[in-house]
Amino acid sequence: MRILFENARLIDPEAGTDMLGTLMVENGVIVESDGSPDEVIDCGGKCLAPGIVDIGVKVSEPGERHKESFASAGRAAVAGGVTTMVTRPDTTPAIDTPETLEFVERRAAIDAAVNVLPMAALTKGRDGREMTEIGFLMDAGAVAFTDCDRVVTDTKVFSRALVYARSCGALVIGHVQEPGLSKGGAVTSGKFATLRGLSGVSPIAERMGLDRDVALLEMTGASYHVDQITTARALPALERAKSNGLDITAGIGIHHLTLNEMDVADYRTFFKLKPPLRSEEDRLAVVDAVASGLIDIISSMHTPQDEESKRLPFEEAASGAVALETLLPAALRLVHAGHLDLPTLFRALALNPANRLGLDCGRLSVGAPADLVLFDPDASIKLDRFALHSKSKNTPFDGAILQGKVIATYVAGVNKTKELANA
């Protein structure tokens, strides 16, 4: 089956180009645009880009399926142009054994409409005391190792895990916060936190956490990815680590790129995140870091929470927000504001995460998987959280006008948007 996408505005993050053209797909792979196609899809001048590779998606199986299942997360991913979900191990129980990992892989293969690559816990139970069987978990399919938002405070345990991970060629993903300084913080410290009477955490906690982890990387030589860099104070340390040749990359969640601390002014718990939303100065600094390539990856940090855990006083409410479905339209805010162009945006959404995990997707080159998203960057939508495909509806963008709409998501050349609509 040969499918020709014609009259498409091709967004190629690898070549850094944005131009009208055609793209040929055969048997789920991008091929040379020659010969006769079996089907022609007129893209009408809309954007055709590599599907998003989203690192750090929480699917609440096992343990909390009422918050999010692989089926519901897959539908949300398709609606948002995400073709590969890299899922977190902070489930109940944690994904810290080959058996639990295999359960996740089987459930994802049956229920999810997109590619699912699971991460495994770095320490048993994510408790920071004893590292997991990294080699066995890699053999079972784990693509990276992380304790998610829990910091491994015992540096000896963490350094041993990094050494072992390096010997296995494994990627470790860490959350950089100094846990003592950040404990109990609901918002970023400062005048705003004081005026609102909310407990704050200093941005320096992120810098301190990064400094510690960089020192351990110098000692161990491990491959390391920071899940989120959200403050200007952490950027010089990240830049030095990269310039010193350490194998380190950094990501950021979409909410920290598009929202700031002022958005929690009316104590709306949908804006309570971990780490907390930062100042506008910090937001602009990390946007510039994405544009320059210092911050490599943009992700959703999709964290579903049920209504009961959010309908609490701000300091007691659970942290996190859903974002699979809103990742692309929210990220397009940065394009419309003139901070990024589309190839740079998809470098951070698709190419860089694929490269970090050693995947062939995330690009439009011949031989790459035909994981694609067709979208209209200018179409406006008013978001209704109850219309989201996720089981949980905890989005901070409820009622917001977002500019950008996914028309179709293709996985291995199959139109998953159409497939799900007809199911």
pLDDT in tens, 15-65: 999 999 999 999 999 999 888 999 999 999 999 999 999 999 999 999 999
Q: What's residue 266's pLDDT?
A: 86
Indicate the burial class of 414 (C-beta count within 10 angstroms; 0-12, 13-18, 19 or more): middle
Percent of the chain at pLDDT > 90 equals 95
CATH of the domain spanning 53-353+379-402, picked from 3.40.50.720, 1.10.1020.10, 3.20.20.140, 3.40.50.300: 3.20.20.140
Query: Phi and psi dihedrals of 21, rounded to 5?
Result: -175, -165
- What does pLDDT average to over the chain? 97
DSSP calls for 165-225 = HHHHT-EEEE----HHHHTT--EE-SHHHHHHT--EE-THHHHHHHHHHHHHHHHH--EEE
Looking at the predicted structure, is the pLDDT value of residue 75 above 90?
A: yes
Q: pLDDT band at residue 125, thresholds of 50, 70 and 90?
A: very high
pLDDT 10s digits, 129-160: 999 999 999 999 999 999 999 999 999 999 99
Looking at the predicted structure, is the pLDDT value of residue 244 above 90?
A: yes
pTM for this predicted structure = 0.97
Are 276 and 314 in contact, with CB atoms under 8 Å apart? no
Average pLDDT over residues 282-310: 97
Q: pLDDT band at residue 73, thresholds of 50, 70 and 90?
A: very high
**Would you state the structure tokens that stand for residue 270, as one six-digit string?**
């949908």
Q: pLDDT band at residue 184, thresholds of 50, 70 and 90?
A: confident
Average pLDDT over residues 369-383: 97
CA distance 317 to 300: 20
